[in-house]
Structure 1
């Protein structure tokens, strides 16, 4: 049984503040009355919290909306341009990208460091250079989220042993980056970050439960359950690419046979498309040629294999939707319609609830935007802000 802890009045205040900040950051202009209606908080509680946020320059008032009816026009609240920012980092096999986001997840600055022949030390140096160039331009940063290729130990912030990642092994990345910047750092894998970004700001906002599926070098997934990111203490949940669709299939690098990744990883798909068509090209360019029957045969087979694995996931998790992202956003609509139709035909529970299949909002950048959401999630869930607490603590709880 999970040990539960009580919540004192101070923590409740932080939680309520985080709830209001989430609504203000993820919606375009709301009034105090709307905040009270959406959260169930009293108007007095909302007014008191907003007053504190305005004093700290997190929130500003905008001109009242014109009200067609009787009564006073409500004053609209929005995030202040002077509010602190968050740092997002995407660390992948091709390089590192560091981005400064405002609290509404708009990109303000971006720095990149490509990888060539690297080792652990050179990767860290390029990472530090990228974030330092951001921090020279902006000092008012709440915290940093990092999207990195897995596997990871999310609880301890350690990058374990990602395949084809320059020999990186058991790297305590969260501690090293936090010490370098003097900021709180959150770490997660690329697919979990993508799912979180889509939930807070993207195509997943309308769903309480969904599965993000990203087509990349392999295929991965992130799970949103009851409006939050689902993962166990180590962070290994959602490894869709290593579920077997054929026990007699080819051996995977993980030791299993018939893993989905062996059939629908991007290098495999592109090789099949080139062989079928006799043309050079990448996945995106082939997706623009789907009137070619050779392309259609390959892509239809890819969708069938992904659907085969997703039926198992759907029967286990019962999501409301599947969001297809990363390279999957290049797929023409008819292939997503094929996936949606087959999922609903094959799933165990043939009830009135239809699973929807949609493209992600952020596409190839889903993990990058999700890295910023890792930092924002701490603010939304805990509501703790530098200089706003009486005890003067860090903006985020201890890692």
Structure 2
């Protein structure tokens, strides 16, 4: 069985191995899971092996991933598997510790179970971290030293990247769970006052009784963008990020949203500039970033 250090060394120096083993990226979202096979990490191209509704049962998810890869003859034949997941991770990046939309996954040994089932190293990260890795390597964030990635989907997630002289760190943050003054709504995370009840697809669907993509009310989108713009301004003021790549189903299905958010952000920020840009890789950013975990130094990511 290949060790994690062997696979990561191979990922960093692929030319050192004549017969390159492929990589797998998995994107476990609150709604759907996708599995992609990457021949190398030199391009954001992959073969989609499977797409299915995300099981709420942890054991079923691990089984589906392992069965899919075994059916494609990839047991003991991978350089590694990287997983993007809609939940906060333990400090060592080996399991999920907080996941309001995936409760059965919390405190489960996900990395260890995948390694045991597939015979290869496994790396995990919060989905916005993976989205940021994808956009930083192949997308709109490539030239930026102070940047962020925000996903607007089942939940509202973000990661930031700060660097100087080529040395950087990527940090998972809980933008959707910052507290808004005067907000008495209870979030799925258990807190009262979070941003996410105003911007998270699952919570909005529960409140309005229908999927958010069916909501056409302009007053709804004014409230949505008012709350989110405030959250993004707070992010810029606290971290000094200058550009944000935005993705997720809500952003992708509502092209009017980013210009509306940009106007509201511009009206609030007086002495700095924050630019919103659609993610170039769109919904593939977390999947591509999941595979890139295998070539990303562990110490450069703060879970």
Q: How does the TM-score come out when normalised to structure 1?
A: 0.63
CA contact (8 A) 2:76 2:118 kept: no
Structure 1 runs not aligned, ≥5 long: 1-13, 22-51, 58-81, 232-236, 287-293, 382-399
SS at match of 2:102: coil
Partner of 2:252: 329
Question: How many angstroms does 1:303 deviate by?
Answer: 1.1
Question: Do residues 258 (structure 1) and 193 (structure 2) align?
Answer: yes
Q: Quote the Cα distance in structure 2 between the aligned partners of 1:270 and 1:358.
A: 26
1:13-71 residue CA offsets vs partner (Å, 9 max, x unmatched): x8xx94xx7xxxxxxxxxxxxxxxxxxxxxxxxxxxxxx93x745xxxxxxxxxxxxxx
The answer to which structure has the higher strand fraction is: 2
CA contact (8 A) 2:161 2:170 kept: yes
1:337-383 residue CA offsets vs partner (Å, 9 max, x unmatched): 232233234236x15xx32111112223332222112123359x9xx
Question: How many angstroms does 1:271 deviate by?
Answer: 6.8
1:257-309 residue CA offsets vs partner (Å, 9 max, x unmatched): 2211011111454578x78xxxx7651x65xxxxxxx6333222211110111
1:75-121 residue CA offsets vs partner (Å, 9 max, x unmatched): xxxxxxx64421111223445432101321211341245455x5333
Q: Quote the Cα distance in structure 2 between the aligned partners of 1:124 and 1:139.
A: 16
- How does 1:244-323 map onto structure 2 within 5 Å? 244-269=179-204, 282-283=212-213, 295-323=217-245
Q: 1:194 to 1:115 in 2, by over 3 A?
A: closer
Q: How does the TM-score come out when normalised to structure 2?
A: 0.80
CA contact (8 A) 1:101 1:109 kept: no
Partner of 1:33: none
Q: Quote the Cα distance in structure 1 between the aligned partners of 2:282 and 2:29.
A: 16
- How does 1:19-58 map onto structure 2 within 5 Å? 53=15, 56-57=17-18
SS at match of 1:105: coil
CA contact (8 A) 2:76 2:119 kept: no
Q: 1:105 to 1:140 in 2, by over 3 A?
A: farther
1:111 equivalent among 50, 57, 61: 50
SS at match of 2:116: helix
2:66 equivalent among 114, 120, 128: 128
SS at match of 1:199: helix
Partner of 1:364: 283
How many residues in Structure 1 have an aligned counterpart in Structure 2?
Answer: 284
Q: Quote the Cα distance in structure 1 between the aligned partners of 2:233 and 2:129.
A: 20
CA contact (8 A) 2:115 2:121 kept: yes
Q: 1:303 to 1:282 in 2, by over 3 A?
A: closer
- How does 1:89-238 map onto structure 2 within 5 Å? 89-94=26-31, 96-103=33-40, 104-115=43-54, 119-134=57-72, 136=73, 141-165=78-102, 167-226=104-163, 228-231=168-171, 237-238=172-173
Q: 1:154 to 1:178 in 2, by over 3 A?
A: farther
SS at match of 1:111: strand
Q: 1:166 to 1:258 in 2, by over 3 A?
A: closer
Q: Quote the Cα distance in structure 2 between the aligned partners of 1:119 and 1:344.
A: 43
